[in-house]
Amino acid sequence: MKTAAPVFDALEAKGGPGCARFVGGCVRNALIGQPVGDLDIATILTPDQVTQALVAAGLKAVPTGIDHGTITAVAGGQPFEITTLRRDVATDGRRAVVAFTQDWSEDAQRRDFNLNAVYCDREGNLFDPTGQGVADAQAGRIVFVGDAATRIEEDSLRILRFFRFLAWYGKGEPDAAAVAACTAGKGLLKNLAAERVAKELLKLLAAYDPRPALALMAQTGVLAELLPAAQDLSAFNAMIEFEVDQLFTNDPVLRLATLVPNDQIGAGKAAEALRLSNDQKERLIQAMGKTPRITSWMSPRESRRAVYQIGVGTFSDRIKLAWANAGRTGATHQWRGLLALAESWTPPPFPLTGQDVINSGVPKGPMVGLVLREVEDWWIDHDFIDDKFSAIEKLKAVAQGMAY
């Protein structure tokens, strides 16, 4: 947090010592010994005053969330979100109208969970307006600030945030009041922008082991509100076990693939409903493809052919999904072998070009592509033979047999 010194210097030159404090995730993670990512700062200064202070200190000020009192400072190439203390004036479950305040307790009361409502000054002194934030963070309790139902009425995305924080930081039995409020308010999720839901859901799925949180989401009916096809979590659970056993990086998109319909049309519709990015949508759709058929008993030759046709990424996704859907029962050695082959084999480039086809006597036009594809199919069938001379001989034979 020492990197924030120039920002604090700038703010305190305007508002005096103590006018700004770290807040939220950086404080929470520091308390529990987790890596600290974004450094968020709360201040009694208004956005205009924050901007003036930063500019006066020669720092860049970007109005990233000016309507909600947020200015992003850039110091040493690092961004710092600075938000004026706020209190809610009106809320509709999706967005809030806020007013600025200089009361740290008022600001804390509008935050979601106690463990996210702890402040820390630049000297490391903690301020815990709810009186429970530090203890909750250290104990892994995800408890709403004040009344859980009220917090959810203010912003129903907090239902998903509850399960996300439960997946990342929760320990022991979930807070009963929070679970009850999430269950009662789950119908409000349909009013949220799909992009907000998808962002929160993918963050949840990126946790090291989100299985307990997903099981509780299913039990409360929250998961069905988001993903109606997620009736059975066995494939999801198997995918987590697979990633943990293989020491793979947590893959939220592939985990999501176990929760959407197991066909390309259904997966595409689920991706559209969540407003996933084009890349994420395309990955889900391709992962559900059935051609070429992926089996645990594929020969190395068949595997290389599949990797060449659909790419190593899609091939690996389909292997992992097939393994997960099979419940990881049996054939473990074969599945691992297929993954190892895909990751270690680099598909060679096809040795011929359209010009080679033309040089063989085929006139320019659609026939060039047809001849080239037939020779490429032969080359693949011969396991990517590393012999351009043989490919050219095959080209000549095909060209001679074609009627132009």
**In the predicted model, is pLDDT for residue 107 greater than 90?**
yes
Backbone φ and ψ for 39, nearest 5 degrees, come out as -105, 105
pLDDT value, residue 94: 57
Sign of the C-alpha dihedral, residues 10, 16, 20, 21? positive
Tell me which of 38 and 304 has the higher pLDDT: 304
How much is the pLDDT for 165?
A: 97
Residue 77: its pLDDT value, please?
87
The kind and range of the H/E element at 366 are helix 366-381
Stated pTM of the model: 0.87
Check if CATH label 3.40.50.150 holds for domain 141-226: no
pLDDT, residue 87, reads: 82
Position 334 scores a pLDDT of 85
Q: Which residue has the tokens 């032969």?
A: 378
pLDDT in tens, 51-60: 999 999 999 9
Instruction: Please name the residue that has the structure tokens 């200015």.
Output: 71
Sign of the Cα torsion 214, 215, 220, 223 reads: positive
Give the per-residue pLDDT at 88.
Answer: 72
Average model confidence (pLDDT) for the chain? 91
Instruction: Give domain limits for the chain.
Output: 1-139, 141-226, 229-347, 354-401
Summarised one tens digit per residue, pLDDT across range 167-226 is 999 999 999 999 999 999 999 999 999 999 999 999 999 999 999 999 999 999 999 999
Contacts of 43 (CB under 8 A, 6+ apart): 11, 15, 19, 20, 21, 50, 82, 83, 84, 85
- What is the percentage of the chain residues whose pLDDT exceeds 90? 73
Q: Which residue has the tokens 């990633």?
A: 243
**Distance from C-alpha of 264 to C-alpha of 260, rounded to nearest angstrom:** 10
Work out the pLDDT band at 242, boundaries 50, 70, 90: confident
- The predicted pLDDT at position 196 comes to 94
State how far the Cα of 158 lies from the Cα of 162, in Å rounded to an integer: 6
Q: Torsions phi, psi of 99, nearest 5?
A: -125, 145
Distance between CA atoms of 265 and 69, rounded to whole angstroms?
A: 42
Rounded average pLDDT over 286-297: 92
Q: Identify the top-confidence range among 116-120, 338-342, 373-377.
A: 116-120
Q: Given this model, what pLDDT does residue 306 score?
A: 94
pLDDT recorded at residue 65: 79
Q: What pLDDT, on the 0 to 100 scale, is given for residue 263?
A: 94
Pair of tokens at residue 37: 């990512």
Class (C level, CATH) for 1-139: alpha beta
Give the ranges where 274-329 is alpha helix by DSSP (H).
278-287, 300-310, 312-325
- Percentage of the chain beyond pLDDT 70 is 95
